[in-house]
Structure 1
Amino acid sequence: STEGCRAAVAWAAGKPLSVEEVEVAPPKAQEVRVKIVASGICRTDDHVLGGYFPNIEFPVIPGHEGAGIVESVGEGVTSVKPGDKVIPLCLPQCGECCFCLNPDSNYCIKSHFSESQNLMPDKTSRFTCKGKQIHHFLWTSTFAEYTVMPEYAVAKIDAAAPLDKVCLLGCGFPTGYGAAINTAKVKPGSTCAVFGLGGVGLSVVMGCKAAGASRIIAIDINKDKFAKAKELGATDCVNPKDFTKPIHEVLMEMTGLGVDYSFEAIGHKDTLKAAFESTTVGWGTFVIAGVAVGEQSLPGSPPPSLEKSVPKLVSDYMAKKFDLDALVSHTLPFEKISDAFDPTIAGKSNRTIVVF
């Protein structure tokens, strides 16, 4: 049956989120309806509200960093059943395309880089509000108490996992942690530089530490970020505002040759250039983990990360292999979602979670 529930609707670009009563249709074949319990606030959701993504259609229910419980399943669904704890995947894994079948790839032809996810695969919406059709966002739309997505965009996770923490494994944490572990393949004893210490940058720091880096230099113009970065594994913290010379020169002096690995977790062309110039000439690796928007953006799309790794990340978290809780700086009830972006934009939050 159709579920009435609360959701945060973005009616138009440049307008704040509005908490509304929406109707969520039951799942069709190969679809799953999930009761969202918690959702992280990612800067990408803020970029959606600002209208920075030309391929997003309004009105829309944003949100892509969630965790919840399967409420019902459509015909033919086999991977999950009602009652299972799940994390929606903003980069799906259909398991059938040439990319999914290639062990060297973590891409999928169903991802938003290849096809629109403003509507379900059958080109209809499961959301209505005030008689109007509301668009999906990345097929996840986790700013709704109930959301519907294709079966291949859902990962079943450990039944004991705390949903108000593991929701971060849907986007921010694996983007940063995976940039260090999977993309850069940071080697033990190496030197790393991390530009930008928001939720993604701090997750890069954790990944570098887990990989055994001996020196992790954390860089941000907000010195309030340094205590948390050190707690999570940074060995040095550098504020570019403390120097007159360019930051890459400072890093060269600190390291002699430059760093083995540098990571940009902001998405700003100046820091992208600085991060690139900070790496050592012979073997340095530079990884972009931030998404740029507007005038600062670079052409091209960010590399996809994660997917099959999500259930394993949950298991690793439960085994205390990394401290995900340390990233959660604010938790708010869902009705305060409009305020939830403020600490993130002001640089006062590593990650804010809204809980239904």
Structure 2
Amino acid sequence: MGSHQKPSTAGKPIRCKAAVCRVAGAPLVMEEVTVAPPQAHEARIRIVCTSLCQSDVTFWKLKDFPGITPRILGHEAIGIVESVGAEVTELTEGDTVIPVFLPDCGECSDCLSKKSNLCSKLPFKVSPWMPRDGTSRFTDLDGNTIHHFLSVSSFSEYTVVDIAHLTKIDLDGDVQMNRACLLSCGISTGVGAAWRTADVEEGTTVVIFGLGSIGLAVAEGARIRGAARIIGIDMKPEKFDVGENLLGVQMVALSCLECIELQVINEMTEGGADYCFECVGLPSLMEEAYACCRKVYK
């Protein structure tokens, strides 16, 4: 072995830093943890970049199950495969991957179907354990168990993920890791809502309530699908430059989320939008979005 090569860590525990949630709602604690080697159908990943999703914040605050401590949160990330466990043929050391919290075993009838992405072999659960054997790959330096989050736990320098929760990607030279990590959750959620779930058709009108990362991703999905008109509704003027200049979204400013003028939206869309997307998470706003939908399809 040349002097410039590092000894392999495959098959050995790795000690690294992680942001651990010790108390619900309290600041995360930066500490050293031990990450066990991957077992069968698993890969150990060196996290290159991770972002913060609202789901992380929601579970961080929960004091009762499915909130649980100690736990390593984080699920929107990108990383490099450090090593793989037995029976893994899809990935190899050095591959670039993004973790996804919805599993895809690639074998069951649901995963093979174009109409479903809810794996029946490894059903989605908000579980604190690895999906196949119900154990953890994390311990603190005293040997105490640290729980997983959404089968990812990306707030750690290294994590172990089941291959059903990993997607191999190839990045060209222009794509930055701190952008690509958003593909893991926010971007795929928004683009997929327009492209796959709603199946937006060419020439239609789309209204988006809330132009955060998911709302902007919906706009991109609608644009790719050929929507003739995309209207974005938001309270924050700083969102307008991104929406208008980058994605060609026609923006409507609001003083508050409860002040939507349905008549205005319906007039702008000549009787209602073909598709409405609520991207804030407010039940009242969902009702408003539904009321802005066209009642009779053109």
1:134 aligns with 2:146: yes
- Residue matched to 2:129: 119
Q: CA deviation at 1:177?
A: 0.7
Q: CA deviation at 1:102?
A: 2.6
The 1-side partners of 2:183 and 2:64 are apart by: 23
**Kept after mapping to 2: 8 A contact 1:125/1:135:** yes
Identity of aligned residues (%): 42
- Residue matched to 1:218: 232
Shift in alpha-carbon separation, 1:17–1:110, aligned structure 2, 3 A: farther
Residue 269 of structure 2 aligns with an amino acid whose one-letter code is T
1:298-336 Cα deviation digits (max 9, x unpaired)? xxxxxxxxxxxxxxxxxxxxxxxxxxxxxxxxxxxxxxx
Q: CA deviation at 1:193?
A: 0.4
Residue among 99, 107, 113 paired with 1:88: 99
Residue 200 of structure 1 aligns with an amino acid whose one-letter code is I
SS in 1 for 2:127: coil
**Kept after mapping to 1: 8 A contact 2:73/2:153:** yes
**Kept after mapping to 1: 8 A contact 2:126/2:149:** no
- Residue matched to 1:283: 297
The 1-side partners of 2:199 and 2:88 are apart by: 36
The 2-side partners of 1:52 and 1:112 are apart by: 24
1:195-249 Cα deviation digits (max 9, x unpaired)? 1111100101111111111211100112221111112324421123289964322
The 2-side partners of 1:244 and 1:87 are apart by: 37
**Kept after mapping to 1: 8 A contact 2:235/2:257:** no
- Residue matched to 1:341: none
The 2-side partners of 1:4 and 1:242 are apart by: 48
The 2-side partners of 1:79 and 1:238 are apart by: 46
1:187 aligns with 2:238: no
Structure 1 length-normalised TM: 0.75
1:257 aligns with 2:267: no
- Residue matched to 2:8: none
Residue among 244, 255, 261 paired with 1:230: 244
Shift in alpha-carbon separation, 1:244–1:145, aligned structure 2, 3 A: closer
Q: CA deviation at 1:262?
A: 0.5
Shift in alpha-carbon separation, 1:94–1:242, aligned structure 2, 3 A: closer
- Residue matched to 2:3: none
- Residue matched to 2:6: none
Shift in alpha-carbon separation, 1:110–1:15, aligned structure 2, 3 A: farther
Q: CA deviation at 1:116?
A: 4.5
SS in 1 for 2:109: coil
The 1-side partners of 2:108 and 2:82 are apart by: 28
Residue 88 of structure 2 aligns with an amino acid whose one-letter code is V
Structure 2 length-normalised TM: 0.89
The 1-side partners of 2:280 and 2:13 are apart by: 40
1:272 aligns with 2:286: yes
Q: CA deviation at 1:261?
A: 0.7
1:20 aligns with 2:44: no
SS in 2 for 1:186: coil
- Residue matched to 1:48: 59
The 2-side partners of 1:22 and 1:98 are apart by: 38
**Kept after mapping to 2: 8 A contact 1:2/1:25:** yes
The 5 Å alignment of 1:92-111 reads: 92-109=103-120
The 2-side partners of 1:119 and 1:129 are apart by: 15
The 2-side partners of 1:49 and 1:145 are apart by: 19
Identify unmatched segments of 5+ residues in structure 1: 285-356
Identify unmatched segments of 5+ residues in structure 2: 1-11
The 2-side partners of 1:196 and 1:134 are apart by: 35
* Runs of 4+ deviating beyond 6 Å: 242-245
SS in 2 for 1:100: helix
**Kept after mapping to 1: 8 A contact 2:66/2:127:** no
SS in 2 for 1:267: coil
Aligned residues: 283
Q: CA deviation at 1:162?
A: 3.6
Q: CA deviation at 1:53?
A: 7.7
The 1-side partners of 2:103 and 2:120 are apart by: 9
Shift in alpha-carbon separation, 1:111–1:41, aligned structure 2, 3 A: farther
